Structure 1
């Protein structure tokens, strides 16, 4: 953190499989690490991460990303997949003091989804909860509404600052994000650049949001990266008071 600024990234990495090479199953963790390193964030919430799956060559993508970025990490399994695990990752410049994973509810069929979060201590600034999620992709707002509701209840009673990142699979006009907005302040709320698809994006579904603090957002950007994933990474910079 430079000049009391906290730089946060959210990135759905498509299990490090560039969409242009999806049929060939090419895995390029180096490119994902390069995208992260170029932005030099303090905290990163990553979605669609493989750990020991056959399709990704049985590698631990989270551990490799941590090694290549020099950051602390935690991997959180959402589901078993292809002989390994598939889920979320958190990267942090700061040591991780504790971690938690919550299974999110479903009211109809759909892939199991989770919320994960860690507690950090920012030197001279105190504790921060950093959370990451990836909501249902298959059913309009059905599962997503109950999932975001569960996330809001998880943080309802905490007074610690909370930053949440993730692929919410919902546009700002949808009820899922309207529920989020009742509790969190998104880093961009109007005129925001789109995050998907990676080429000629036309929709925003990836977000960074803050609760329990009024830190100003000094920068919100969607990085114009078109090779590494089918989502563009999002950056928000908070001025920590």
Structure 2
């Protein structure tokens, strides 16, 4: 064999070898690996803690854009309130500033407008739904938002966003049970994100851990307060037994825009 022939065969062998991971992935999963970036962010109605009387939606939008998120769960969103602007629909404005689709649902009426949760998606939202969660008289109503999202691969994901009660751990645990009861038998892959007002080891998080996997398992960095954070209450969960892999989990150290640090995770399946 000549040197040229040997090099040619070597090149062909290396080329084929480089495609083996893709081939095995397609044989195993039926398609190439899909990745999606998810952000959980309590935006504090876009009020920077250092500027008590101000609203800075562009700062929130910048955090979302720079994160590269495909799906975003937002909490504490104002719509046409006195404090944030009677003409301002914060979810719609953030969708325009980030080039994303949105779904907003009210938790309460507030200052002549609405206050609640929102979902942003880089991909079209095919269906959306609000599920009321357990509550007690005198506490703020809470809800689970659901959005069916179609990815570019054709695969569909159920994205769920929530903000649980902070006043009573028993109510928070009941709300977590409401969520697992609704989502545990979903045939689609489920991603659940938000502000759970509960820490690892609490009844609420233990309930969710029983049915879902957290993107941070052994070590979940703290998410509040933004300066010297010492408490972890913002999480991203995903379906067990769905061949999902966590590529990356990060608490973004953004200390200006909100009183919570945003949580970012990259998932692949």
TM-score range, shorter chain: over 0.9
Identify the residue that residue 65 of structure 2 maps to in structure 1: 37
Q: Tell me the TM-score normalized by structure 1.
A: 0.95
- The answer on 1:214 being equivalent to 2:243 is yes
Identify the residue that residue 95 of structure 2 maps to in structure 1: 66
User: Larger relative contact order (C-alpha < 8 A, sep ≥ 6)?
Assistant: 1
1:15-30 to structure 2, matched below 5 A, reads 15-22=45-52, 25-30=53-58
- The answer on 1:96 being equivalent to 2:125 is yes
Considering only aligned residues, what root-mean-square deviation do their CA atoms show, in Å? 1.4
Find the residue that maps to 1:38 and give its secondary structure: helix
Aligned equivalents of 2:148, 2:137: Cα separation in 1: 32
Aligned equivalents of 1:71, 1:46: Cα separation in 2: 13
Aligned equivalents of 1:92, 1:112: Cα separation in 2: 24
Aligned equivalents of 1:46, 1:190: Cα separation in 2: 25
Which consecutive segments of 4 or more residues in structure 1 shift more than 6 A?
none
Give the conservation status (yes or no) of the 8 Å contact 1:108–1:143.
Answer: no
Aligned equivalents of 1:4, 1:142: Cα separation in 2: 38
Shift of residue 108 of structure 1? 5.7
1:1-241 to structure 2, matched below 5 A, reads 4-22=34-52, 25-58=53-86, 59-107=88-136, 109-139=138-168, 141-212=169-240, 213-240=242-269
Q: Tell me the TM-score normalized by structure 2.
A: 0.85
Name the count of aligned residue pairs.
236
Per-residue Cα deviation, 1:1-52 (whole angstroms, up to 9, x for no partner): xx73210000000000011112xx2000000000111111110000000001
For structure 1, the residue ranges without an aligned partner over 5 or more in a row are none
Moved more, 220-229 or 116-125: 116-125
Shift of residue 137 of structure 1? 1.2
Shift of residue 138 of structure 1? 1.3
Per-residue Cα deviation, 1:136-161 (whole angstroms, up to 9, x for no partner): 0112x121011111111111321111
Higher fraction of helix: 2
Identify the residue that residue 30 of structure 2 maps to in structure 1: none
Give the conservation status (yes or no) of the 8 Å contact 1:217–1:237.
Answer: yes
For structure 2, the residue ranges without an aligned partner over 5 or more in a row are 1-32
